[in-house]
Structure 1
Amino acid sequence: MPKTVTASEAKNKLGSIVGWVVENQEEVIVESYGEPRVVIMSFDEYEKLKALKEQQRRWEALDQLRRLKAEVSSHNKDLSEGEAMALTDRFVREVIDDMATEGKIRFERDNS
């Protein structure tokens, strides 16, 4: 179970608290007016937590993309593959034309 200290104690004994965290590989919860405000943890644990959060964010993004793919597929059940490709081609051309008009992309002319 993590150790809990007051904000005043953390301020006065930060060095020893950091040493305790590193030595025991445990977190210390810092409370202010009886409410948890921050946690002091080892840098290794912090890095692991960051990696887990990033992995979770990626899983959520992948799940969202899968749901979007299923939704789009359900809307286009009546299209043949050729019709879908034609619509895709048209959409891509429109986007490229818009980007060229806005000056976001330029094409070199072939003077041969």
Structure 2
Amino acid sequence: MLVKNISASDAKTRFGAVMNWTNKMDVVVESYGEPKMVLLSYTKYKKIVELREKYKREMLLDQMRSLKKRIKKRNVGLKRKDIKKLADRFSSEIVVDLIKEGKVKYEGAS
């Protein structure tokens, strides 16, 4: 991956050129020699957002699978209807927690 470093003042005066560079490479903007930000094409940005969302979904699925295993271990010897009640309760609690943590949004009927 090509990367170009440029000072903040150069980025300001050559912004049009910098925008064109992002089609070919990422651009690191420095201030006093320290990297402060990265400019990249909108296509790359969308891909990063997509990968981030995919990662979040995978993490949530892993948490749900882990919870399912824990519930299954705790349910040994329970009747089927009792298992369903517990599973529903735990699922509801997790969803409420995820909503409170801002990890999922609930768009229920008003």
Alignment TM-score, normalising by the size of structure 2: 0.69
**Matches of residues 1-112 of structure 1 in structure 2 within 5 Å?**
1-22=2-23, 25-85=24-84, 87-88=85-86
Q: State the 1:35 CA deviation.
A: 2.2
Secondary structure, in 3 states, of the residue corresponding to 1:79? coil
CA separation of 1:83 and 1:61: change in aligned 2, threshold 3 A: closer
Q: Secondary structure at the match of 1:84?
A: helix
Q: Which 5+ residue runs of structure 1 have no aligned equivalent? A: 92-112
- TM-score where L is the length of structure 1: 0.68
Query: What's the C-alpha RMSD, in Å, of the aligned pairs?
Result: 2.2
Structure with larger Rg: 1
For residues 19-39 of structure 1, the C-alpha deviation after alignment (integer angstroms, 9 at most, x for no partner) is 1222xx211011123222211
Q: Which runs of 4+ in 1 moved over 6 A?
A: none
Distance in 2 separating the partners of 1:60 and 1:83:
28
Gaps of 5+ in 2: 90-110
SS of 2:22's partner is: helix
**Once the two structures are aligned, what percentage of the paired residues are identical?**
35
What is the number of residues matched between the two proteins? 88
* Partner Cα separation in structure 1 for residue 34 and residue 67 of structure 2: 41
Give 2:107's aligned residue: none
Distance in 2 separating the partners of 1:7 and 1:44: 23
